[in-house]
Amino acid sequence: MKKILVLSMVLFGAILNAQTVRDSIVTDPQQQMNAAQTILSGNYGKKVTIGAYGEITYNQPEGDNGELDVQRLVLLVGYKFNDKTQFVSEIELEHVEEVFVEQAFINHSISDNVSLRGGLMLVPMGIINEYHEPTTFNGVERPAVDGVIVPSTWREIGVGVTGRFPDASIGYQAYVFNGFKSTIGSEDAVSGVLSGSSGLRGGRQKGIKSTVDSPTFSTKFDYYGIPGLRLGLSGYFGKTQAEDDVEQLEGANIGIAMVGLDARYAFRQFTARGQFVYTGLSDTDAYNTLTGKDLGSALQGYYFEGAYNLLPITNEQRLYAFARYENYDTHASVDGDLERNDAFNRSDVTTGLSYHISPGVVVKGDYQFRSNNSDADVANRLNFGIGVWF
């Protein structure tokens, strides 16, 4: 409780003394920046840069009680040591009860187009994991692909390099991270933290006393050579991490190869985005035998979305009507005697409105038609939300 009170006081002070202004109505994907990028680029003449983002949501499944939630409130703090070296941090309060450090890293610029980074950072995979501020995406909830296949918000401790090749219109990131945790316990009582339903999500270590045995490699390339278009190619490769007492057991670790493609486009009042992510997992048969889990050997998900601003393009306010289709399957493939679970092959159709009443403030509403490939019914859901970013 004391931690929450202290964080609330700090956040309140940040609101009163915020030094940055976020324009969430920038629709050109080549101009969009996330929270860390705005801290790094928006501190001219200042040592300390402060901001925040947050969202309050209401979810109403058909036939069940609705839920109101302060999903997250994130304090952004950056510090500029000199013209080359900066510190970026995000401190997140989730559901008014949990405190996490979402990012905490040092960025050191070697040249105008190359920087070294080290610390707790976002893994560059897809769109939402890096661009998840509530004013930057349509829909009250983030796409399910970016919660189940890409376990957003996915961050780990590592080091790497980021930069761009201006003549080729290509940006790049390359990092070495600690990996997912896979098994815990002792040789006599092994437990698995990965599962068929949620895939890799339970293995995120989030920089909390992270176990590391073999590092993983993560990279992303962005192409921005065509006006209004941004294309991304992401990769993540390595093995999971097991605790010392169990890592020698057969099946304690699995191999991971994740590849993602994404695209964002904007022209006048029209915007569109899409994403495809495939994850191949090795040694899942041995892992399931050891842990009693039902982890699939392949995870796959994709979505595509279109949106149109119903207000005149000259207005500061914008009202986007959007529709998104997504499919995500954590049993895209299975190994050994494990039977594929059709309930893990899920689809959502989301349609609604995003009303940007001013730069940095959005009011959202949508309806989700949800289904899976099994005979089980999945409740559709009505959602409303308020998001801010400054």
Q: What single string gives the DSSP state of each residue in 87-138?
A: EEEEEEEETTTEEEEEEEEEEEEEETTEEEEEEEEE---TTTTT---TTSSS
Q: Which band of pLDDT confidence, cut at 50, 70 and 90, is reported for residue 188? A: confident
- For residue 77, the enclosing domain spans 2-389
Sign of the Cα pseudo-torsion (150, 343, 366, 303, in order)? positive
Token look-up 């010392």 returns: 244
Q: What pLDDT, in 10s, does the model give residues 158-172? A: 999 999 999 999 999
Write 83-86 long-range contacts (CB < 8 A, 24+). Answer: 83/109, 84/108, 84/109, 84/110, 85/109, 86/39, 86/40, 86/43
Q: Of 20-24, 156-160, 245-249, 365-369, where does mean pLDDT reach its minimum?
A: 20-24
Kindly tell me the burial class for residue 103, based on how many C-beta atoms sit within 10 Å of its own C-beta (0-12, 13-18, 19 or more). buried
**CA 267 from centre of chain:** 25
Give the pLDDT mean for 101-113.
Answer: 97
What confidence score (pLDDT) does residue 157 get? 98
Q: Which residues pair with 115 in a beta bridge?
A: 109, 162
Q: Has residue 253 got a pLDDT over 60?
A: yes
Q: What pLDDT, in 10s, does the model give residues 43-79? A: 667 799 999 999 999 999 998 999 999 999 999 999 9
Per DSSP, 303 falls in state: E
Q: What pLDDT, in 10s, does the model give residues 327-369? A: 999 999 999 999 999 999 999 999 999 999 999 999 999 999 9
Q: Has residue 96 got a pLDDT over 70?
A: yes
Sheet strand arrangement including 181-186: 189-192, 181-186, 241-242
- Number of domains comprising the chain: 1
Q: Has residue 274 got a pLDDT over 80?
A: yes
The model's pTM: 0.91
What confidence score (pLDDT) does residue 10 get? 42
Q: Has residue 140 got a pLDDT over 70?
A: yes
User: Greatest CA span in the chain, whole angstroms?
Assistant: 67
State both tokens at 388.
Answer: 């801010």
What is the Cα–Cα distance from 151 to 161, expressed in whole angstroms?
Answer: 23
Q: Has residue 1 got a pLDDT over 80?
A: no
Q: Has residue 248 got a pLDDT over 50?
A: yes
Sign of the Cα pseudo-torsion (95, 96, 100, 104, in order)? positive
Q: What pLDDT, in 10s, does the model give residues 279-306? A: 999 999 999 999 999 999 999 999 999 9
Give the pLDDT mean for 71-97.
Answer: 96
Kindly tell me the burial class for residue 378, based on how many C-beta atoms sit within 10 Å of its own C-beta (0-12, 13-18, 19 or more). middle
What confidence score (pLDDT) does residue 43 get? 67
Q: Has residue 22 got a pLDDT over 80?
A: no
What confidence score (pLDDT) does residue 287 get? 97
Residue bearing the bigger pLDDT, 9 or 322: 322
Give the pLDDT mean for 19-26.
Answer: 49
CATH number of the domain to which 100 belongs? 2.40.160.10
Outline where DSSP puts E strands in the chain. Answer: 48-61, 67-80, 85-94, 98-111, 114-122, 155-165, 170-177, 181-186, 189-192, 216-223, 229-239, 241-242, 255-267, 270-282, 298-309, 318-333, 345-358, 361-372, 381-389
> How many other C-beta atoms lie within 10 A of the C-beta of residue 313?
9
145: part of which helix (H) or strand (E)? Answer: helix 145-148
What is the Cα–Cα distance from 121 to 117, expressed in whole angstroms?
Answer: 9
Q: Has residue 373 got a pLDDT over 90?
A: yes
> How many other C-beta atoms lie within 10 A of the C-beta of residue 230?
23
CB 193 within 8 A of CB 181: yes
Q: Which band of pLDDT confidence, cut at 50, 70 and 90, is reported for residue 325? A: very high
CB 231 within 8 A of CB 262: yes
In the chain, pLDDT over 90 holds for what percent of residues? 85
Which of 387, 351, 386, 356 lies closest to 370 in space, CA to CA? Answer: 351
What confidence score (pLDDT) does residue 11 get? 39
In the chain, pLDDT over 70 holds for what percent of residues? 93
Q: Has residue 24 got a pLDDT over 50?
A: no
What confidence score (pLDDT) does residue 128 get? 97
Q: Has residue 25 got a pLDDT over 70?
A: no
What confidence score (pLDDT) does residue 28 get? 87
What confidence score (pLDDT) does residue 31 get? 87
Which of 41, 133, 136, 59 lies closest to 90 in space, CA to CA? Answer: 133
Give the pLDDT mean for 309-334.
Answer: 97
**Which phi-psi region, left, alpha or beta, contains residue 159 (left: φ > 0; alpha: ψ -120 to 50)?**
beta
What confidence score (pLDDT) does residue 299 get? 98
What is the Cα–Cα distance from 88 to 120, expressed in whole angstroms?
Answer: 10
Averaged pLDDT score across all residues of the chain? 92
What confidence score (pLDDT) does residue 297 get? 98
| Residue count of the chain | 390
What confidence score (pLDDT) does residue 16 get? 37
Q: Has residue 262 got a pLDDT over 90?
A: yes
